[in-house]
Structures are given as structure tokens and as C-alpha cells.
Amino acid sequence: MISDYLKNSVTRVPDYPKAGIQFRDITSLVADGRAFAEAVTALAEPYLSQAVDKVVGIEARGFVFGAALARELGVGLALARKPGKLPRATCRETYTLEYGEDALHMHLDALEPESRVLLVDDLIATGGTALAALRLVRQLGASPIGAAFVIALPELGGLAALQRQRVATHHLMEFAGE
Ligand SMILES: O=P(O)(O)OC[C@H]1O[C@H](OP(=O)(O)OP(=O)(O)O)[C@H](O)[C@@H]1O
Ligand SMILES: Nc1ncnc2[nH]cnc12
């Protein structure tokens, strides 16, 4: 159970980036040392007793939590990046967002085959991003053992979609569309 302090550290921004979207802004959370520390500790908690070989952080907000979580678990971080950012050969997956379309890439040697991988992002909404990252992990022959998010928007279906893919999920707080 997380504190009200942590939940209240997320800022709601109505109609960003377009009308009708309630944007959940984590910049206020990470700027607050107490809130950030609680979030990273709570994200790591279920994985302290599991074997994890690598954390995969999803650009860009997922890098912030992915890096802290990898450090907390004592493992390395692999980057799932937006197009045009990785300098060597990559695999690629496209996806649809709540407010647009994009693609993710990973270096072909980013993950060891059969390694146990934990996906991390700040937020799951439709799940398009996390599912694309999951497909990348599977393309590279690694085993996704879980997916962790600071925020879930369950009404948008992403958590359920990941669970249908038999990926165990963990999140710290939920928001409805209010
Ligand atoms: O579950 P979904 O509907 O896919 O939405 C969630 C994704 O949307 C946001 O990323 P965004 O693409 O806005 O990029 P950013 O992290 O670079 O700001 C967020 O950080 C997640 O990655
Ligand atoms: N409502 C939302 N707030 C912040 N990031 C998001 N990514 C997708 N939907 C989002």
C-alpha cells in the first residue's frame, strides 16, 4: 500500500496533449525526493525475491524509473527506444497510443536469449507501448517475467491486455478518467 503523499505527487493536467485526455504528469513525483524514493522502493518490492537478469526501460519516462529500479535490484538496464535513436542494428515494433502512433526499437544484442526480463514504464494506459516492448523482448528470445508501472489507467485496458499475454503486472496506483 503506497502513501497518499506519493499518489498526490502526481499532477493531473486536463486536456493534454489533446482535448479529453487527463494527462498524469510524473515530473512532480520525480522532483520530490520523498515521493521518488517511495516509488522506487515500492516498484522493486515484488522482485526482491525473484531472479531478474535485466530491466527493460521504455523511452522516455520509463528510463527514469527503469534506471532506478535496475540499480535497486542490482542488475543492468536495456533501453527500448523511439525510432532513430539507437546506433546499431535493432529490432522494431510499431504500436498505437491513447494519442497517436509510434515505434520502439532495441539493439539486437540488448538481451541474452532466455534471460529473465522485467519491463518498466511510468504508466500503462491502452498497453500499446508495453505490448510492443513485450514483443521486442520475445523477438530477442528473452523471457518476460513481469511488467511494473508507477501508474495504471485500468479503464483503458492495457493491464488486462498484458495479463492476457500471461505477463504478471505490478503497479503502485490507479486513476480513473475523472
Ligand atoms: O499504454 P499506452 O497507451 O501505450 O500509453 C503509455 C505510454 O505513454 C507514455 O509515453 P509517451 O509515448 O507519451 O512517451 P514519453 O515517455 O517519451 O513521454 C507513457 O510513458 C507510456 O510509455
Ligand atoms: N493519460 C496519460 N497520462 C500520461 N501519460 C500517458 N500515456 C498515455 N496516456 C497517458
Q: What is the pLDDT of residue 101?
A: 87
Q: Which of 61, 81, 116, 135 is catalytic?
A: 61
Q: Which ligand 2 atom sits nearest the alpha carbon of residue 25? A: 4
Domain range summary for the chain, segments of one domain joined by + = 49-174
Give the closest ligand to the alpha carbon of residue 10. Answer: 2
Q: What is the pLDDT of residue 99?
A: 66
Q: What is the pLDDT of residue 98?
A: 64
CA distance 130 to 154: 14
Q: Is 98 a catalytic residue?
A: yes
ipTM, 2 decimals?
A: 0.98
Question: CA nearest 177: which of 154, 148, 160?
Answer: 154
153 CA to middle of ligand 1, Å?
A: 12
8 A C-beta contact, residue 115 and residue 54 = yes
Q: What is the pLDDT of residue 97?
A: 78
Pocket lining: 139 vs ligand 2, CB cutoff 6 Å: no
The CATH architecture one would assign to domain 49-174 is 3-Layer(aba) Sandwich (3.40)
Q: Which ligand 1 atom sits nearest the alpha carbon of residue 153? A: 1
8 A C-beta contact, residue 38 and residue 2 = yes
From first to last of the 178 residues of the chain, give the pLDDT tens digit.
999 999 999 999 999 999 999 999 999 999 999 999 999 999 999 999 999 999 999 999 999 999 999 999 999 999 999 999 999 999 999 998 766 789 999 999 999 999 999 999 999 999 999 999 999 999 999 999 999 999 999 999 999 999 999 999 999 999 997 4
